[in-house]
Amino acid sequence: MEFSFTDEQLMIRDTAQSFLSEVSTSSAIRNTMGTEHGFDDNVWQRLCTQMGWQATHIPEEYGGFGLGYVELVIMLEQMGQHLFCSPFFATVCLGANALLVAGTEAQKQHYLPQICNGSLTATLAYTGSSGKWDAHSVDAVVLAKDNEYVLNGVYRYVPDGHTTDVLIVAARNSDTSGQSGISLFVTDANAKGVTREYLPTMDQTKKQAHIVFDNVVVNEHALMGEYANAWPLLDKILNLATIATAAEQVGGSQQVLNMSVAYTKERVQFGRAIAGFQAVKHQAADMMLRTEVGRSAVYYAACVAQEFFDGGSLARELGEAASVAKSYCSDGYFKNAGDAIQLHGGVGFTWEYDVHLYFKRAKSSEMFLGNGAYHRERVAKMLLD
């Protein structure tokens, strides 16, 4: 048992930190967040070709580095901390994970090397308009017809769905509900019958799309996993993505704490730095507690995710570890970000200071893949039903 980073992992963290502090400055964030595209193509290409981050946990046989989920989480934490605008999450934590978990060998060999060389982005679309995140949220419909599948429906809140090259979508047989009858497909995002629309969002640093499938026809090679029985796989994919989101949240929690401590040490009122007032210190202490506790949950979940890929015994804890991390980090990040505005006083209420960017990200990430209450209810089901 070793619950701290190896030297190699520390190096990854430090590299991520220095790269992101160069490319994801406040002005860079503000330049990209205002665009519909949502990220800087040059930076994304540098990330993919020079750093190779998107290939971190993809096995070497598909052109990746074959590192673990812990390494991935280390990077995600830094991306959250630097509010990095990119299709990384969509491509790696949704797209690549979906391919790794549910893809056929042929699909993996086709798509993963393209992700690894930076020529392809991907995302996952599964939620309809219900506002839910579990199996019930899948309301697009699939009709099987002579080795082909016809897909119809609406997907909402799809991360980067308006820009990615590939869509992985969930759809269900028309007479099913809940966890039954769900299938997964991978398709070109520009396939005939697909309409993708950018959804402007309050948190401008994460882009979302509204996607309509109108009689989209895909062939049998597009099917991922077992037909009409893909929920168990989708569930795993979502758990992995949930852990990734929690990692970004911990980075954000840390950043708003850093900003608040730095600001209150500088700001003088009543003849002393306001960081010296106990009411301020105690809020900061609680922020540190929430950050560190969230971090413990995320690192543990990362180890569990790693065991999931390695077939270790902790793999069975995947769902629980994801919910533990996401519920704690969602609430913790939001509270921290709110407190950060408070500790900044009037300037925290301005567009100019970055605090509001984190405050907005905290809320969007809290909502995404289920908020604290949603994940607590998942845990409650495990314990009580």
Partner 1 sequence: MKLSFSKADEKFREEVAQWLNDNLVEEFAQLKFRGGPGDEHMFPDERKKWEAKLAEGGWIGIAWPKEYGGRGCSIEQQVIFNEEYARAGAPGRVGHIGEGLTGPTLIAFGSEAQKQRYLPGILSGNDLWCQGYSEPGAGSDLSNVRTKAVFDEAIGKWLITGQKVWTSLAHESDYIFVIARTESGTKGHKGLGFFLLNMDQPGIEVRGIKQLTGTSEFNEVFFDNAECDAQDIVGKPGEGWAVAMGLLGFERGVSTLGQQMQFQNELDEVIVAAKNNGTHKDPMIRQRIADAHIGLKIMRYNSLRMLSGNGDDGSLQKEALIYKLFWATWHRDLGELAMDVLGPEAEILSAAPYELSRMQALYLFVRSDTIYGGTNEIQRNIIAERGLGMPKDIRPTL
Ligand X SMILES: Cc1cc2nc3c(=O)[nH]c(=O)nc-3n(C[C@H](O)[C@H](O)[C@H](O)COP(=O)(O)OP(=O)(O)OC[C@H]3O[C@@H](n4cnc5c(N)ncnc54)[C@H](O)[C@@H]3O)c2cc1C
C-beta of 121 vs 264, nearer to ligand X:
264
- Regarding 285 and contact with partner 1 (CB under 8 A), the answer is yes
Distance of CA 370 to the CA centre of its chain: 12
Residues in the chain: 385
- Regarding 335 and contact with partner 1 (CB under 8 A), the answer is no
- Regarding 234 and contact with partner 1 (CB under 8 A), the answer is no
Q: How far is the CB of 116 from partner 1 (least distance, A)?
A: 24
- Regarding 240 and contact with partner 1 (CB under 8 A), the answer is no
Binding site for ligand X (CB under 6 A): 267, 269-270, 274, 277, 279-280, 342-343, 345-346, 349
Task: Concatenate the DSSP letters of all residues of 242-299 into one string.
Answer: HHHHHHHHHHHHHHHHHHHHHHHHH-EETTEEGGGSHHHHHHHHHHHHHHHHHHHHHH
Q: How far is the CB of 29 from partner 1 (least distance, A)?
A: 25
- Regarding 270 and contact with partner 1 (CB under 8 A), the answer is no
- Regarding 268 and contact with partner 1 (CB under 8 A), the answer is no
| Whole-Å CA distances, 33 to 25, 256, 337 | 12, 19, 19
Sign of CA dihedral 112, 122, 337, 272: positive
- Residue 314 contact, options partner 1, ligand X, none, Cβ 5-8 Å cut-off depending on partner type: partner 1
Residues 6+ apart with CB under 8 A from 332: 249, 253, 290, 291, 293, 294
- Residue 9 contact, options ligand X, partner 1, none, Cβ 5-8 Å cut-off depending on partner type: partner 1
Nearest to 165 by CA among 190, 185, 184: 190
- Regarding 79 and contact with partner 1 (CB under 8 A), the answer is no
Question: Residues 82, 126: contact at Cβ < 8 Å?
Answer: no
Q: How far is the CB of 289 from partner 1 (least distance, A)?
A: 4
Q: How far from each other are the two terminal CA atoms of the chain, in whole angstroms?
A: 32
- Regarding 134 and contact with partner 1 (CB under 8 A), the answer is no
- Regarding 70 and contact with partner 1 (CB under 8 A), the answer is yes
Nearest to 174 by CA among 228, 226, 120, 123: 228
- Regarding 4 and contact with partner 1 (CB under 8 A), the answer is yes
- Regarding 379 and contact with partner 1 (CB under 8 A), the answer is yes
Taking residue 3's Cβ as centre, other Cβ atoms within 10 Å add up to 8
The three-point CA angle 122-368-39 to 5° equals 45
- Regarding 311 and contact with partner 1 (CB under 8 A), the answer is no
- Residue 269 contact, options ligand X, partner 1, none, Cβ 5-8 Å cut-off depending on partner type: ligand X
- Residue 279 contact, options ligand X, partner 1, none, Cβ 5-8 Å cut-off depending on partner type: ligand X
- Residue 140 contact, options ligand X, partner 1, none, Cβ 5-8 Å cut-off depending on partner type: none
Q: Which amino acid is at 206?
A: K
- Residue 342 contact, options ligand X, partner 1, none, Cβ 5-8 Å cut-off depending on partner type: ligand X
Residue nearest to ligand X (CB): 345
- Regarding 226 and contact with partner 1 (CB under 8 A), the answer is no
Q: How far is the CB of 98 from partner 1 (least distance, A)?
A: 25
Q: Which amino acid is at 373?
A: A
Residues 6+ apart with CB under 8 A from 313: 307
Task: Concatenate the DSSP letters of all residues of 72-137 into one string.
Answer: HHHHHHHHHHTT--SSHIIIIIIIIHHHHHH--HHHHHHHHHHHHTT---EEEE---SS---SGGG
Which tokens hold the place of 377?
A: 């209810």
Q: How far is the CB of 135 from partner 1 (least distance, A)?
A: 19
Binding site for partner 1 (CB under 8 A): 1-6, 9-10, 13, 70, 74, 257, 261, 264-265, 272-273, 275-276, 278, 280-282, 284-286, 288-289, 292-293, 295-297, 299-300, 302-304, 306-307, 312-314, 320, 323-324, 327-328, 373, 376-380, 383-384
